[in-house]
Structure 1
Amino acid sequence: MRTRPLKLGFLASANGSSAQAVMDAIEGGRLNAEACLMVSNNRSAAALAWAQDRGVPALCVPTAADPEAADRRLADEMAARGVELIVMSGYLRRLGPAVLGRYGGRILNIHPGPLPDFGGQGMYGRRVHEAVLAAGLAESSIVIHLVDEEYDHGPELARRRVPIQPGDTPETLEARVKAMEPAFFVETLQQIASGALELPDAA
């Protein structure tokens, strides 16, 4: 049974709505964790501003000019703040070997559709919902998985069903999934923090 707070780092490219929900849960005493660092590759990301407003260290690490240097810096910054688990909240960059080497099996991502069939490079946001509806499925899913060197490929930790409703469009399905994602992420982290859900290859 885990008793000490889980030290979390966050990655977001835009709003980071799931990260906001996680921090709300921490502040409300519903999640035994500590928000240690928010990082974005986008200097204008709203996630940086609201994290700073909450007193959480926030940092922009651009990746386009020198991906290898950014990878090393990201790994170093997370480690310097004692981060144990990284939460990706709409981070649209592939992670590099330095981060994956230091945090392998400790990076969580949430995907807005069934994996593995509706994942991979370019499959994010509304594109996922368009593909799910085009396939004629009776239900979609939200999947929380560990991150490795391939897009949407790491081991699955949790899955939540999202029934397809009559008349659904990519827009309506996207809105319903987005509304469900933050609470699902919080619930999964609660299970990890309490020891009810053990990560694969945990020491």
Structure 2
Amino acid sequence: MTDVVNQETIEPWELISPPVETVDLTLPQRLRLGVLASGSGSNFAAIAQAIAAQTLNAQIQVLIYNNPQAKAAERATQYHVPTVLLNHRHYPHREDLDGEIVKIFKAHNVEWVVMAGWMRIVTAVLLEAYGDRVLNIHPSLLPSFPGIHGVEQALAAGVKITGCTVHFADLEVDSGPIIMQAAVPILPTDTAETLHARIQIQEHRIYPQAIALAAKLKP
């Protein structure tokens, strides 16, 4: 998972844009990341593993999670990353939650915000604090199928290829400039569960690379 992608081993449908071999992903300075997660934390783990393998020059300063049952917190503990629970149900407005997120990130010297399965809509409070240093990953080839049911939308539409997208976040859901995408075929036997599992393989592959690429694009 942490290996550099070898173009010769990629099937035609595993298109990655841009090809990672054409981009210098080395970073002179270590990125200080703040991660937001709501669920299993598999993308958090992929990023942490890339850091441990020294294929991503970064450090995760803190993980913020909003779901008390999120397994992402357990994964963070395994990697000795501080965690903070901010249960969104305790905040009457989205702006209040984002204001607390900003305070915690600033206290931990975070310079890049990475949403890794963060199931909350971000507001101007977070985006204004971190500008164009807020990243998101979505399980479709945006701009197709935005929203929380991207996998199910792709299946219902009958398309033959879907995938995942890492992009800079903005106020519109699953919008903002695209950094990197990977394509995944939809098989005749696919269910939402099997398709999502294969998409996640590509998410874990491209997210660490996309973080480095974003830092090259927005130094």
- 1:138-174, Cα deviation, whole Å (9 max, x unpaired): 2112111111112101111111111223333323211
In 2: Cα distance, 1:70 partner to 1:135 partner:
35
| 2:134–2:169 contact (8 Å) kept in structure 1 | yes
Q: What amino acid is aligned across from residue 43 of structure 1 in structure 2?
A: P
Alpha-carbon distance change, 169 to 55 in structure 1, aligned in 2, over 3 angstroms: closer
Query: What RMSD in Å do the two structures reach over aligned CA positions?
Result: 1.8
Match of 1:34 among 50, 54, 59: 59
In 1: Cα distance, 2:87 partner to 2:68 partner:
8
In 2: Cα distance, 1:141 partner to 1:57 partner:
31
- Partner of 1:63 in structure 2? 88
TM-score, normalised with respect to structure 2: 0.80
Per-residue deviation, 1:179: 2.1
- Partner of 2:14 in structure 1? none
- Partner of 2:110 in structure 1? 83
Alignment of 1:165-180 (within 5 A): 165-180=187-202
Match of 1:17 among 32, 35, 42: 42
Per-residue deviation, 1:28: 1.8
Q: What amino acid is aligned across from residue 117 of structure 1 in structure 2?
A: S
Q: What amino acid is aligned across from residue 142 of structure 1 in structure 2?
A: C
- Partner of 1:140 in structure 2? 162
Per-residue deviation, 1:82: 1.4
1:105 equivalenced with 2:127 (yes/no): no
In 2: Cα distance, 1:168 partner to 1:106 partner:
35
Q: How many residues align?
A: 192
TM-score, normalised with respect to structure 1: 0.86
In 2: Cα distance, 1:162 partner to 1:104 partner:
31
Structure 2 stretches of 5 or more lacking a match? 1-25
Q: Percent identity of the aligned residues?
A: 34
In 2: Cα distance, 1:49 partner to 1:188 partner:
24
Per-residue deviation, 1:130: 2.4
Alpha-carbon distance change, 50 to 171 in structure 1, aligned in 2, over 3 angstroms: closer
Structure 1 stretches of 5 or more lacking a match? none
SS of 2:122's equivalent in the other structure is coil
SS of 1:157's equivalent in the other structure is strand
Q: What amino acid is aligned across from residue 97 of structure 2 in structure 1?
A: A
Structure 1: 4+ residue segments shifted above 4 A = none
| 2:145–2:153 contact (8 Å) kept in structure 1 | yes
| 1:104–1:148 contact (8 Å) kept in structure 2 | no
Per-residue deviation, 1:95: 1.5
